[in-house]
Amino acid sequence: MATAGTSSRADLRRSLTRPTAKVGADFIPHVQGLRAIAVLAVVLYHFWPGRLSGGYVGVDIFFVISGFLITAHLARELTSTGTVKLGQFWARRARRLLPASLLVLLFCAIVAAVPVLSPLSQLPAQLKEIVASTFYVENWYLAFNSADYLAHSGDPTMVQHYWSLSLEEQFYVLWPLIMLLAAWIAVKYFRGTRLRAAAIAIAVVSVASFAFCVWYTLTNPAPAYFVTFGRMWQFGVGALLALVPRLRIHNPIGSFILGWGGIITLLVVIYRFDGQTPFPGYMAAIPTVAAGAVIAASNTQRWWYPTRILAVRPMRFTGDISYSLYLWHWPLIIIAPSVPFWGLTIYHRVALVGICFLLAWLTKRLVEDPARTWKPLTARRPRVSLWAALAAMVIVAGAAGGGWVANASTYDQGVQAIAQLRANPPACFGAAVVLDASCADTSTDRILPAPGFAGVDRPADTQCFVQLNDARPVSCEFGSEDPKAKQVALIGDSHAFQLLTTFQGIAEREGWHLTTYFKGACPWSTTPLSTGGAFGDACTQYRAAVAEQLQKKHFDVIFTAALSTTPFSANGHESVDAAAIAGYRAAWATQTANGTPVVTVVDNPVWETDPNKCLRTRPQSSCDGARSDLLTEKDPLREAAAGQKDVTLLDFTDVYCDKTICRTVVGGANIYRDQDHLTVTFVNTLAPQYTAALKKAMGLAG
């Protein structure tokens, strides 16, 4: 997210009054305004994702801007000297970008190491990503881990936004090499001009990158968002604008239409795109081309032209601090809910936006600008800056390592405490306070597991859980090996997987054999998901393969659970709800028709954010939520089970909620490990009810 330097007032007046500013000039006012649109889209999207659901495209705008500015800089040097001094170029980039970046990373490393400010359960993930971000490989770290549904079921880390910065740093390394190689080949073998060769090379790379992006988004949408080559074409769009003068429109009417058309398109995309938009893929071409159109609109003759509107002082100021604003806003969003005196109201969010702007301005004035011109580095050879940058990166990585050393023993103790809690829970604990009459008057102020460590309280057998684009019908076997043992199956998505540890215990105690089938966001149903591409196809293939395996086996009972808000396709039905109900019933009927009973459960409440953030700093009563906000109005599992023979429905809504509010803690048991998944500790307190339901379905004595 490279940022052009500020100009004097005289420079600004000249740039605004001349009809056509020189492309590649050090300062282009309306590009600063475009950068302001980009950073505001990202920041406001992160603060209010429901309002600006497509604000994530701000990152794509940054890629186009960086491609334009950096390529223009490289082209000027290539034209004037015949080459690019790589050491100087990379040293300038390091002085420009690393001081502010490493400052924020050091801040995050310190916060992660202080359990009061960050949940201890997140410490390993936080520190790993801080190190990955320090060495600018965060995008690849996320790409390799994005195939892990379970790794993304909780809250993101403080530095997850560094994926785009990592990708840009990789661009800064690769781009001059591509241009230099193309120029060398043109001069040595074809007697062509250097810039024309560079433009051709970049065009070829961009076309190949776009084709790869479209294909990879369809086949592997999760990692496709982060991989470097799938994003190079967006830099290429900006680069071609810098290298091909004819792409820049100086005609007043054409510039007016192109500029405002690009701005309007970006605003529509920011407002209309959402998490269901197949992205990046071909849809990323819309904001990318729109951003390119705004840059290409070069005429500045009239005040109402987009080039003049984008160059007004507030837009230029926001563009100037955009880099630091991007760096600071995300860590503060993650940290704020854990601050004792801070709330989550609209007023707190607006105040936090103001704090982000203040920190960004201070960082720009006190860190970014001084570091760029610091004489001890600029007066020496480029390798001095590069070695200094490497040393600073090692220091930040060392701080992250020190955070682990300081907290490792506490972390291990927390893991052991959860194991002991599962083995020896207190009397009248958790759901028993609601469901067991003898525990009705029990009360406690303790919360187990502790809110700062609840995220660790999850099933351990992740090898049993099929990930995003994987269609293999993976099954796991637990419990008795006696051929005469009752055969129990547990099938579903992550909301079925959260029951695994409890069902393992039930199978061992009762002498049953347990078989499991789990796939993330893919419940046991015949209705297709509305999610398209490879993920939707993998779910369909997985279901077919599991159905084939179920037909080959005999089960005495099957238990299934699913997220109530799963995005199903209408699939020819009058509504999505009707399709969801029909899909569940059709899947269950394949087993009930053979005499195998099915037991299912109404889904638990789903929160907007992890309730543990609130529990760490506020009383339990302050962390409860409105029942109307947290419960799905019509859980399709409840509707599907109604009136069905050999289908038993369990409903623990009264355990989670009363008539008006839903709780975060019941009987001292911490219910949630993230915004919608239950802790194993709490699920274990429902084991008597699960056991009784399974026995009744199998016709066994209670």
User: What pLDDT sits at residue 36?
Assistant: 96
Would you place residue 11 in the very low, low, confident or very high pLDDT band (cuts 50, 70, 90)?
very low
Sign for the CA dihedral angle at 663, 665, 666, 667 comes to negative
Instruction: Give tens-digit pLDDT for 493-512.
Output: 999 999 999 999 999 999 99
At 450, list the tokens.
């502790």
Residue 259: alpha-carbon gap to chain centroid = 31
User: What pLDDT sits at residue 649?
Assistant: 97
Instruction: Give tens-digit pLDDT for 178-237.
Output: 999 988 888 877 776 888 899 999 999 999 999 999 999 988 888 999 999 999 999 999
Sign for the CA dihedral angle at 76, 77, 80, 83 comes to negative
Q: Round to whole Å and give the CA distance between 448 and 430.
A: 9
- What is the full DSSP assignment across 504-523? HHHHHHHT-EEEEEEETT--
Q: DSSP label at 337?
A: G
Strand, helix or coil for residue 648: strand
Single out the residue of 645, 21, 644, 637 nearest to residue 307, CA to CA: 21
Residue 487 has pLDDT above 50, yes or no: yes
Q: DSSP label at 273?
A: -
Q: Is 456 exposed, middle or buried (0-12, 13-18, 19+ CB in 10 A)?
A: buried
At 126, list the tokens.
């936080």
Residue 557, phi then psi, degrees to nearest 5:
-165, 150
- What is the full DSSP assignment across 99-145? HHHHHHHHHHHHHHT-TTTS-GGGHHHHHHHHHHHHTT-HHHHHHHH
Mean predicted confidence (pLDDT) in 42-66: 94
Residue 634 has pLDDT above 90, yes or no: no
Residue 247 has pLDDT above 60, yes or no: yes
Would you place residue 9 in the very low, low, confident or very high pLDDT band (cuts 50, 70, 90)?
very low
Residue 6 has pLDDT above 70, yes or no: no
Among the ranges 116-130, 369-383, 643-657, which has the highest mean pLDDT value? 643-657
Lowest pLDDT segment from 315-324, 525-534, 547-556, 594-603: 525-534
Count of C-beta atoms within a 10 Å radius of residue 282: 13
Give the number of residues written for the chain.
702
Q: Round to whole Å and give the CA distance between 656 and 663.
A: 6
User: What pLDDT sits at residue 27?
Assistant: 52
Would you place residue 534 in the very low, low, confident or very high pLDDT band (cuts 50, 70, 90)?
confident
Strands 625-626 and 513-519: unpaired
Q: Tokens 């607006």 label which residue? A: 350
Would you place residue 477 in the very low, low, confident or very high pLDDT band (cuts 50, 70, 90)?
very high
Single out the residue of 455, 466, 532, 40 nearest to residue 279, CA to CA: 532
Cis status, amide bond into 459, omega within 30 of 0:
no
Answer yes or no: are the C-beta atoms of 159 and 243 closer than 8 Å.
no
Mean pLDDT for the chain overall? 90
Q: Round to whole Å and give the CA distance between 601 and 584.
A: 12
Mean predicted confidence (pLDDT) in 6-21: 38
Q: What angle do helix axes 162-185 and 58-81 make, rounded to 10 degrees?
A: 30
Q: Round to whole Å and give the CA distance between 346 and 435.
A: 37
Mean predicted confidence (pLDDT) in 384-388: 93
Residue 8 has pLDDT above 50, yes or no: no
pTM of the model: 0.89
Residue 403 has pLDDT above 50, yes or no: yes
Residue 151 has pLDDT above 70, yes or no: no
Strand, helix or coil for residue 441: coil
Q: List C-alpha distances in Å: 224 to 203, 209, 278, 349, 467.
A: 21, 12, 11, 31, 15
Residue 643 has pLDDT above 70, yes or no: yes
Would you place residue 697 in the very low, low, confident or very high pLDDT band (cuts 50, 70, 90)?
very high
Instruction: Give tens-digit pLDDT for 310-338.
Output: 999 999 999 999 999 999 999 999 998 88
Residue 390 has pLDDT above 60, yes or no: yes
